[in-house]
Amino acid sequence: MLAFYKQSYWDRFLGDDVPDQAVANELYDTAVNMGVRRGVRFLQAALNLLNRNQRDYADLIVDGWLGSKSLATLQTLLRKDRGSGALVKLMNLQQGARYLEIMQRDPSQERFARGWIKRA
């Protein structure tokens, strides 16, 4: 079972290459629950929001593919912010907003609200 999750989620977003465990954990949680590309898009969008209007680094294309540019940008943010706290919070906010959107669109999904709140 563990091999399945590692291959299907962790390896697909290059989890071993993510230089911060809290970010890697958040990517993994989102990937399992919402898909790998959505998790990476949340990371990329959050990195863009934290770049001080591109003074710290250029905006990334939010495409859901974690590659060398996204990893280098993450390294830059970690160095400048001295940690990943704000980044992980922004990723969680996006995850929570997505859950709200799902429940508002389809009220039958409200049965998952308490579990989703714990995740976000």
Q: What is the largest CA-CA distance in the chain?
A: 44
pTM: 0.95
Instruction: Show the domain range for 68.
Output: 2-119
Residue 11 has pLDDT above 90, yes or no: yes
Q: What does the alpha-carbon distance between residue 22 and residue 18 come to, in Å, rounded to a whole number?
A: 9
The number of distinct structural domains making up the chain is 1
Q: What is the pLDDT of residue 112?
A: 95
Residue 1 has pLDDT above 90, yes or no: no
Q: Which helix (H) or strand (E) holds 115?
A: helix 113-119
CATH of residue 44: 1.20.141.10
What would the two tokens of residue 20 be? 């911060």
At 17-57, the pLDDT tens digits run: 999 999 999 999 999 999 999 999 999 999 999 999 999 99
